[in-house]
Amino acid sequence: MGCLVVASDPIGIAFDSVRHGRAGVKHFYRLFGSNGLVSSERLRMGFMASICSNEGPFCHSSAILNIGVDFETGSGHCSENRPARNTSMIEVAVYDTKPYDREFLTVAGGKMVRWHFHEFRLSAQTALAASGSQAVCVFVNDVVDAACVSELAKLGVQLIALRCAGFNNVDLKAAKARNIPVVRVPAYSPHAVAEHAVALLLTLSRRTHRAYNRVRELNFSLNGLVGTNVNGKTVGVVGTGKIGKIAAQIFRGFDATVLAYDPFPSPDWAVQHGVRYTALTELLATSDIVTLHVPLLPETNQLINARSLAEMKRGVLLINTSRGKLIETKALIHALKSGQVGGVALDVYEEEEGIFFEDLSGQVLQDDQLSRLLTFPNVLITSHQAFLTKEGLSEIARVTVENILKLEYGGPFAEGTIL
C-alpha cells in the first residue's frame, strides 16, 4: 500500500490511500487544539488512521496505518501496520453491579466499551435489559440457566462474560447449543483469596475480632482470648489449583506441616515447597486446620458433610473461601454444637444468594441456618470478599474487557478463559 501525506496547516492533515486491491477514501484528522500552535522543530508524530473500503455505503474492510509527519517540510510517510475493525463502541449489559464494579470496569473499558450497569441480577425474567447489547457481564449469583440463555439468544447477545472464576450458575450446554461463548476470569488474583483465607484463620485462632470489639468498649481484659499458634500445626489444603498452592506456601512460611489433596496433584511443586500429597481421608483425620480451595462440581457438592466432619480431628478449624455449597450447613452446625469442630471461618455460604453483597442491616434475617451460625462465638463470617482487592478488581476488569473486545477485533479469547 502506498500513501501520500500532506501537512496543509497545523490544524489538520489530509491523506489519501493509493489503491491497493481496493479504493481508498479521504480522512481528515485534527492534530491540535484551536490555537494551532506547533514547534518549528522537525516533529515526527505517530498516528493511527483507518483507511476503509468504499465498495458500497458502508466500510467493509480497513487497515491501520502508522503515519509520520514532518511539519517543517510538510512531507511525511505512512505504512500499513495491522488489520482493524470498525471502532464503534461495544454495548455490554452488566448485571448485579456494585460501585466498585462500575469503577474498575469503566476504567478498563475506556472509550471502547459502553457499559449498561444494572443492580438487579440476570435471569430469564431480566434478560430483556440486555436488548441492544452484544455481550452480558455477570457475577456469581446471576442465574444463567437454559431459559435465560434462550432469551439472550433472541436478543442477539454474542458473549456471556463472567467476572469471576466460578461458573456453576451458567448452563454451558445451553450456551453452546445457541453458539454463545462463555468466558470467565479463572485467576483474577489467587493471592487475594489465599491471603484472605489465612487472614480469616489468624483472626479466628487469635480471636482478634473479639479483642477489637472489646477494646473499643474500653474492655482491656484478656480473659477468653487465649489463641493457638499456626506454627507446628498440620494444615490440610483441599485443592491445589493456583489459590490452593499459594495458601499452602503461605502456611509453610509459618513452619506448619502442610498436607494436600487434589485429584490432579502437582508432585514437582509439592517437593519444591515441602508439601505432602495424601488421601482426603488421611488429610481430614490428621489436620488441625482444613482449608478448602476446590471448585463447585457435582462431585464436590457438600464435600464436607456429616460423615467427613466426623472423620476430622476433634477441635479442627475449618476455612472455606471457595464455594458455599462445599459444606453442608446443617451438619456443620451440629459439629459445632458437639465440639467436633473447634471453629469455622467462612467467606462463602451454602445459601448466600440474596444475602451476601446486600445490606440487610435494617431487616430480620430470614435464613435460620445462617442466623444460627452467627450466634457461635467461634464462627467468623465475611460476605464473599476474598476477591475484593484493588489488584483483584483490576485484573477482573482487564481480562473481562480483553475478552469482550474480541467481539469487535476478532482473535482467540484470553488463554484459559473460555468454557
- Which residues form the catalytic set? 323, 352, 384
Strands 47-52 and 62-70: antiparallel
Q: From CA 179, how far away is CA 303, in angstroms rounded?
A: 33
Q: DSSP labels for 165-230?
A: S--TTB-HHHHHHTT--EE--TTS-HHHHHHHHHHHHHHHHHTHHHHHHHHHTT----TT-----S
CA 259 to chain centroid, in Å, comes to 28
Summary count for the chain: helices (H), strands (E): 12, 18
Q: From CA 291, how far away is CA 276, in angstroms rounded?
A: 15
Report angle CA 4, 7, 9 to the nearest 5 degrees. Answer: 155
Q: Cβ distance 328 to 320 under 8 Å?
A: no
**3-state DSSP assignment of residue 19:** coil
